[in-house]
Chains A and B, each alone.
Chain A
Amino acid sequence: MGKLIALLSLGVTALFASEPIAKELNISAIVMFLIFVLATLGITYWAAKKTKTAKDFYTAGGGITGFQNGLAIAGDYMSAASFLGISGLVYMNGYDGLIYSIGFLVGWPIILFMISEQLRNLGKYTFADVASFRLSQKEIRILAASGSLATVTFYLIAQMVGSGKLIQVLFGLPYELAVIIVGGLMIMYVAFGGMLATTWVQIIKAVLLLSGATFMSIAVLAYVGFSFENLFATAVDVHAKGAAIMAPGGLVTDPISAISLGIALMFGTAGLPHILMRFFTVADAKQARKSVFVATGFIGYFYILTFIIGFGAIVLVSQNPEYLDITTGGLFGGNNMAAIHLSHAVGGDLFLGFISAVAFATILAVVAGLTLAGASAISHDLYACVIAEGKVDQEKEMKVSKYATVAIGVVAILLGIAFEQQNIAFMVGLAFAIAASANFPILFLSIYWSKLTTRGALIGGSLGLATAVILVILGPTVWVTILGNAEAIFPYNYPALFSVTIAFVAIWFFSITDKSSRAIIDHEAFDAQNIRCQTGIGSSGALDH
């Protein structure tokens, strides 16, 4: 307790000592954030009372509606990194930011056409349920859980480090304290409130973020007389790059990188465990379908807003000395703060406080979803299905999932602190590469390809995972920028084109050459699986009656 007080008082002193971007204590931000935390803890308390079974914990009892789930999916996708990162990218490079966001969006229709309903019909709690549906449980669960945990870990480190730095800038809290607050709250949401609390935190945050971003965009458009031509003309006038911000620039240089990035974003989205898990929270395939339709609409709308916000920041922020750091010539807190400064420019201290609090809330909601996905991989896939071989009572499984939540939370806090000074920009890319190269191929082929065998999935999935990791290490970001070597062994930043291809080819080859007795079982189970996949007959009913 004494330690906690010492830590808190350290935090309070730091509020005055460091240099938040508001340059004075950001009271409205802190008050609004506290309101959000209190409200979400209230929801967690309510959710905890309703979370009695493993099904409640993993899937909110399957009682989330398609519309709610769509908002929650959009919330999972609209992370602080995409809100601040993409508007910052637009602020710096104009049009290139839009190219990036389109890459993030176009995976969604493919998910709808290919896997969302199929996932709902086949799975129960995790995507490993689907991948191992007709294959040998033990091996495929271990592989899928490894892929999930690797994806979650890298994504989580990136979010933790980003959140520590962001909160440091926004609220003036010390880095370590910020990481501990984020980690502590996320453990509470997930361990007590499970998927129900995680989903509602995500929905509330999505509504707040969409409202805030809408207000900022309208304010920007009002300033330029609701004329896009005016907005662009003013931006071109004041931006250092001039008319170049209206056309594709240096983001995408060669076709190999461009296609590889596209594959990573598209198939990576379809392999992110915390996103895939969302399809088990709705009642049936119809609601799963509706979720993606709603999510695609909100995500697309959000990316259009970030584009307007980025240009708004060029017009309203980049020329205002109040927001400029004289020593660097850039924005206070870095160029990712463009949206934050714009909120002050259009709405004053109060609105700055609101957007800062929303940014904090965004981080909390996203890390909670990741933690839940990681904990499920441990408690459902590894513990209940592999170690206990399916013979486990619910209470025990719930207990394990809570321990797993706390363990992941603590590891995330420690890694977040350990990686403070590291360049972690490659980690989100790595998470997407692993999701695209290991999780997606085994999931997709297990649904569609009757000749897939356990051996093929195991060897191909492992090769995809290994190739993604190795190529990221040998690529320019890690090999040159971080490890300090002169030249990259693998010339591209995005390995997905190669690692996804290797995974698919290896799965194909080691499946068709598989003459084992297990292969016969794998083949024969396909018809029954396909019927359930296509019609939902026999699927784990979301509502138990």
Chain B
Amino acid sequence: MDSIAVERIKSNPAYNELITKRKSFSIKLSIVMLVAYYAFILVIAFNPSFLGQSLSGGVTTLGIPVAVGIIFLAFILTGIYTKRANVEFDDLTAKIKEDLDKEQNNG
């Protein structure tokens, strides 16, 4: 990519919108995953009996739905990201490419 194209893309508001939005979305979702996982790990390390308590009087413990919930959370988060990226981020990317083509054709 030549330096003129680099400058053109950098000054395109769609490009700045794309990187800002994607960055903040990625960071937010990562924080949700990391907090859920490390909270789980720290409960196991410091207070394992919390997860060992009976869920509703039977042998099934609270730990079971919590663990399965984290597995589902991981899948749901990837789904949320994929859905938004497929629409919003890909549209912005397409617009950036289009703008660049137009500008290059106009010299």
Tell whether, in the assembled complex, residue B42 and residue A292 are in contact, meaning their CB atoms are under 8 Å apart: no
- Identify B74's interface contact among A229, A232, A300, CB under 8 A: A300
B59-A233 in contact (CB<8A) = yes
Contact B60 A228 (CB under 8 A): yes
Interface positions, chain A 266-324, Cβ under 8 Å from B, are: 266, 286, 289-290, 292-293, 296-297, 300, 303-304
Residues of A within 8 A of B70 (CB): 102, 105-106
A259-B41, A262-B38, A296-B75 known; A95 and B63 CB under 8 Å?
yes
Chain B interface SS verdict (over half): helix
Q: Find chain A residues with CB under 8 A from B38 CB.
A: 259, 262
Pick the residue among A117, A248, A537 that contacts B44 (CB under 8 A). Answer: A248
Instruction: Enumerate chain A residues within 8 angstroms of B82, measured Cβ to Cβ.
Output: 112, 289-290, 292-293
Given known pairs A108-B74, A109-B30, A286-B86, the reply for A534 and B67 (CB within 8 Å) is: no
Write the nearest CB–CB distance from B9 to chain A, whole angstroms.
5
Residues of A contacting B67 in the complex (Cβ-Cβ under 8 angstroms): 95, 98-99, 102
Q: A262's contact among B41, B49, B86, B93, by CB below 8 Å, is which?
A: B41
Complex contacts, A258 vs chain B, CB 8 Å: 41-42, 44-45
In the complex, which residues of chain A have a beta carbon less than 8 angstroms from the beta carbon of B48? 247-249
Among the listed stretches A429-437, A483-491, A524-532, which one makes contact with chain B, having 4 or more residues with CB under 8 Å of it?
Answer: A524-532
Known contacts: A293-B79, A300-B72, A536-B93. The answer to whether A236 contacts B6 by CB under 8 A is no
A230-248: contact bitstring with B at CB < 8 Å (1 yes, 0 no)?
0011001000000100111
Q: Is the CB of A537 within 8 A of B1?
A: yes
Interchain CA distance A500-B40 in the complex, whole Å? 21
A2 on interface, CB distance cutoff 8 Å: no
Cα(A253)–Cα(B41), bound, Å: 10
The interface residues of chain B lying within 8 Å CB-to-CB of A225 are none
Contacts of B9 in A (CB 8 A): 531, 535, 537
Instruction: Enumerate chain A residues within 8 angstroms of B18, measured Cβ to Cβ.
Output: 534-535
* Interchain CB contact (< 8 A) of B59 among A106, A246, A286, A289: A246
User: Is A482 an interface position by the 8 A CB rule?
Assistant: no
- Whole-angstrom distance between the Cβ of A71 and the nearest chain B Cβ: 15
Shortest Cβ gap from B1 to chain A (Å): 5
Asked whether B15 lies within 8 Å of A534 as measured between CB atoms, the reply is: yes
Tally of contact residues, A, Cβ under 8 A: 52
Contact with B along A509-545 (1 / 0, CB 8 A): 0000000000000000001101110111110000000
A109 to B64, CA, bound (A): 21
Give the contacting residue for B6; candidates A254, A289, A527; CB below 8 A: A527
* A113 at the B interface (CB under 8 A): yes
- A243–B53 CA distance with the chains assembled, in angstroms: 11
Contacting residue for A532 out of B1, B41, B44, CB 8 A? B1
Whether the Cβ atoms of B30 and A535 lie closer than 8 Å is: no
Known: A109-B30, A296-B75, A534-B18. A99 touches B90 (CB 8 A): no
**In whole Å, how far is A270's beta carbon from the nearest beta carbon of chain B?**
12
Contacts of A536 in B (CB 8 A): 93
Majority DSSP secondary structure for residues of A touching B: helix
Most buried by B among A236, A262, A266, A535: A535
Interface string of B1-43 (1 = CB under 8 A from A): 1010110011000010011001001110110011001101110
How would residues 110 to 122 of chain A score, 1 for a CB under 8 Å from any chain B CB and 0 otherwise? 1011100100000
Shortest CB–CB separation between residue A5 and chain B, in angstroms? Answer: 50
Contact status B61-A113, CB under 8 Å: no
Return B10 CB to nearest CB of chain A, in Å.
Answer: 6
Q: Let me know if A255 is at the binding interface, CB within 8 A.
A: yes
Tell me which residues across on chain A come within 8 A of B1, comparing CB atoms.
Answer: 528, 531-532, 537-538
- B37 closest partner in A (C-beta): A106
**From residue A53, how far is it (CB to closest CB) to chain B in Å?**
24
Cβ of B5 to closest chain A Cβ, rounded Å: 8
Q: Would you list which residues of chain B between 49 and 107 have a CB under 8 Å from chain A?
A: 49, 51-52, 58-61, 63-64, 67-68, 70-72, 74-75, 77-79, 81-82, 85-86, 90, 93, 96-97, 100
Residue of A nearest to B9 (CB): A531
Contact in complex: B52, A247 (CB < 8 Å) = yes
Would you give the shortest CB distance from B7 to chain A, in whole angstroms? 9
A252 interfacial contact with B, CB 8 Å: yes
Minimum C-beta distance from A131 to chain B (A): 19
A531, chain B: closest CB distance, angstroms: 5
In the complex, the answer to whether A528 meets B6 with C-beta atoms within 8 Å is yes
CA distance A266 to B70 in the complex (A): 14
Given known contacts A247-B61, A528-B1, A535-B9, is B44 in contact with A252 (CB within 8 Å)?
yes
Provide a sorted-by-A list of 7 A–B residue pairs whose CB atoms are within 8 angstroms.
A232-B59, A247-B52, A252-B45, A258-B44, A266-B37, A293-B81, A531-B10
Residues of A within 8 A of B (CB): 95, 98-99, 102-103, 105-106, 108-110, 112-114, 117, 228-229, 232-233, 236, 243, 246-249, 252-255, 258-259, 262, 266, 286, 289-290, 292-293, 296-297, 300, 303-304, 527-528, 530-532, 534-538
Additional 5 contacts, C-beta under 8 A, given A246-B63, A286-B85:
A95-B67, A109-B30, A113-B29, A255-B45, A289-B82
Which 9 A-B residue pairings sit nearest by Cβ, starting from the closest? A247-B52, A113-B26, A248-B48, A255-B45, A300-B71, A248-B44, A246-B61, A293-B82, A106-B37
